[in-house]
């Protein structure tokens, strides 16, 4: 048995593979480094979102608005999404964890888990996405009582190339959201040593509760901002 910590064979853990970094990054990074990179990613994602007027208005929500909003509002939404899920999972972790866990590990890994949303925000910058969205918005009748146009009519008003970009952007956003959910689970599993079916059920429940909490917090922020 090798007992020398300076020997290379001391490092008996497998080196991280590309798939490992993509889907289990928290095996190798957590705590303050993850917190720093994660917070920077959240801020950049919110800024890029503001360029296409895209709001991450809930832990799992992404909506593009025709109305503009100040940059601070986009940044606050990103922070609320991150902290809502992190603190709900921290409460669940305190109930499930076999031993104590460090809050900074959960906060850091939850922040970093949101990085796929940066890809989603970039995808929504595609010009075809905003042009298609504008065309679709224009085709909605101003009078709510009027019957909406048929899908065939809607498609006629949109350039096929723009429509392809629109569909591509939505697909990337959908995959990015799924990736974020998987990473957030990995963050919870590793930071709180959560295992088994009970942990999975707790995570799903935590996602739902955090979604409600974040929606309520963002609604409160809107009311405060409008005053």
Query: What residue ranges bind another protein (CB under 8 A)?
Result: 1-3, 5, 10-13, 15, 26-31, 34, 98-99, 101-102, 105, 109, 190-191, 193
Residue that is written with structure tokens 């929606």 in the block: 215
Q: In terms of CB distance, is 10 or 72 closer to another protein? A: 10
User: Least distance to another protein from the beta carbon of 216, Å?
Assistant: 30
Nearer to another protein, 29 or 222 (CB): 29
- Least gap, CB of 197 to another protein (angstroms): 18
Q: How far is the CB of 34 from another protein (least distance, A)?
A: 8
CA distances from 103 to 9, 115, 217 (A): 32, 19, 21
Nearer to another protein, 48 or 106 (CB): 106
- Distance (Å) of CA 123 to CA 41, 70, 119, 163: 15, 21, 6, 14
Measured from the CB atom, the residue of 172 and 199 that comes closer to another protein is 199
Rounded to the nearest 5°, which phi and psi values hold at 158? -115, 135
93: which 2 tokens?
């972790």
**Measured in whole angstroms, how far is the alpha carbon of residue 195 from the centre of its chain?**
23
State the minimum distance, in angstroms, from the CB of residue 186 to another protein: 11
Contact 185, 25 (CB under 8 A): no
């Amino acid at each position: 048995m090798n007992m020398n910590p300076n020997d290379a064979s001391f490092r008996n853990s497998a080196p991280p593979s590309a798939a490992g970094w993509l889907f289990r990054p928290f095996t190798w990074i957590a705590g303050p480094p993850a917190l720093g990179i994660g917070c920077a990613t959240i801020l950049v994602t919110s800024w890029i979102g503001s360029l296409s007027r895209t709001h991450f208005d809930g832990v799992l929500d992404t909506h593009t608005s025709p109305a503009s909003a100040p940059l601070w509002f986009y940044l606050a939404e990103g922070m609320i999404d991150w902290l809502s899920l992190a603190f709900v999972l921290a409460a669940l972790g305190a109930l499930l964890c076999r031993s104590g866990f460090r809050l900074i590990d959960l906060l850091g890994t939850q922040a970093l888990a949101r990085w796929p949303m940066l890809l989603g925000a970039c995808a929504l910058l595609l010009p075809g996405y905003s042009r298609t969205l504008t065309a679709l918005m224009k085709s909605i009748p101003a009078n709510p009582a009027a019957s909406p146009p048929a899908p065939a009519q809607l498609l006629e008003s949109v350039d096929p190339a723009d429509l392809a970009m629109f569909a591509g952007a939505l697909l990337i956003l959908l995959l990015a959201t799924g990736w974020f959910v998987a990473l957030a689970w990995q963050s919870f599993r590793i930071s709180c040593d959560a295992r088994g079916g009970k942990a999975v059920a707790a995570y799903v429940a935590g996602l739902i509760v955090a979604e409600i909490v974040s929606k309520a917090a963002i609604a409160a922020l809107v009311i405060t901002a409008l005053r």
